[in-house]
Structure 1
Amino acid sequence: MAEGLRERKKRETRQRISDIATGLFLEHGFLTVTIADVAEAADVSVNTVYNYFPAKEDLFFDRSAGVVEQLSRWVRGRDEGESAARAVLRELRAEAEAVSPRIGLMQGYDRFMRVIHEAPPLRSRLWSLQQEIHDHLEATLREETGAPDGDPLPGLIAGQISWIHQTVFVTIGREMVAGRNPDEVSREVLVLLDDIEELLSEKVLNYAVRGAQ
């Protein structure tokens, strides 16, 4: 029981530091705020912050692990008779129809995106995250299809699916920064997803179809 309490306290401390850091970054900018500023605001030592977040960028992208694994989760959860690409398209459509904050369809998302655009280290980390998303999805597709290590197809399909995901997020980010209404943007994203699906080849759309369980 004591071990469980310690772990819960660690999670709470980590979350509190992350929330405080995000607020400071949004208010003052990523480059202006220091780790010492975060530590002071959170009433912890600088070393404590580094114990939870090895790099300053980790404070801003605290939930990146969930983002990296998202496409793989959608692919693994695809329905019987559904391909990997169609599963991702379905999930993105559902998020857009729900005007979901998970894909940036919310007031205030423009502040988040501006912080990234104004900070080269964050733009660099975002690029790295996109590569991690691709690599994680490639590994998932290889596992789901049983493709051998030398088969290039899982990587190529992962690139196509990652492009779908990235295009949607880039479009939403751009429109929200422009001050658009989330409801309006969500409708445009649904049209965009239809356009994207029309561009995809049958080979992409029919890759990794789940058979009967």
Structure 2
Amino acid sequence: MGIEPVGLRESKKQETRQLISDHATRLFIDNGFEATTIAEIAAVARVAKKTVTNYFARKEDLAFDHQDEFVAGLARTVADRSEGESALTALRREFLKGVERHDPVIGFSGEAFARMIADSPTLLARLRDLHDQREDALAGLLATETAAAPGDITPHAAATQLGGAHRVLFQHILELTLDGQSNERIAETVTASAHRVFDLLEGPLADYAVK
């Protein structure tokens, strides 16, 4: 009696985490990321300051609450590719699906959120770091999938090109969002842009890491 099931405890933890993140994002948008303190976030969320830091190791993590999915996404897409499908084909397909659903992980964040990022040197630096981590994760997966020899630079070179395509397209979505365009208009523009970007990689990477 009085002992909560593990599933219920985890559910409550997720609810608390999301509550803190939601309050933090509103404060960041209203007051600016740099100007908002952890103490202010804790007060608005009605939790202890230590609770905030227990759930979020860095202040930036409060803004980028999809960061784990962001970092792992490219590697996961390649790992789950279909038989006979290359890494490039899988990543192109999944990106275009993300455009169709206006996925926030690929950059569809809304103008207020995009402005919050653009106005914060700290968040811009963290975003670059997350892009780097994502490419590193993809490089590791490609090395395994292609049974690359130790010291073979090919997986890292391929990951840099594939990750770079996503980096460019993420920035493109961000800029269009800051320009005040609707998600529907952005999706239309970015679909055409994505085909141009991925087409540039077809020559060198069309047959790389085919499952």
Distance 2:108 2:4 in 1: 40
User: What is the aligned-residue identity percentage?
Assistant: 39
Give the TM-score of the pair, scaled to structure 1: 0.91
Contact 1:105 1:186 (8 Å CA) reproduced: no
Deviation digits for residues 81-101 of structure 1 (CA, Å, limit 9, x no counterpart)? 110011101111222234444
Partner-residue secondary structure (3-state), 1:2: coil
Contact 1:99 1:105 (8 Å CA) reproduced: yes
How much does 1:41 deviate? 0.5
| Aligned counterpart, 2:181 | 180
How much does 1:188 deviate? 1.5
The count of corresponding residues between Structure 1 and Structure 2 is 208
Query: Where in structure 2 are the equivalents of 1:81-120 lying within 5 Å?
Result: 81-105=84-108, 109-120=110-121
Contact 1:20 1:38 (8 Å CA) reproduced: yes
| Aligned counterpart, 2:144 | 143
Segments of structure 2 that go 5 or more residues without pairing to the other structure are none
Counterpart of 2:30 (choices 27, 30, 45) is 27
Distance 1:53 1:113 in 2: 21
Instruction: Say if 1:100 and 1:123 are closer, same or farther in 2 by CA, change over 3 A.
Output: closer
CA-based RMSD: 1.6
- With 61-70 and 90-99 compared, the bigger mean Cα shift is at 90-99
Deviation digits for residues 152-205 of structure 1 (CA, Å, limit 9, x no counterpart)? 000000001101111111111101100112222212212112212332253312
Query: Where in structure 2 are the equivalents of 1:60-79 lying within 5 Å?
Result: 60-79=63-82
Give the TM-score of the pair, scaled to structure 2: 0.92
How much does 1:69 deviate? 0.5
Segments of structure 1 that go 5 or more residues without pairing to the other structure are none
Distance 1:32 1:209 in 2: 48
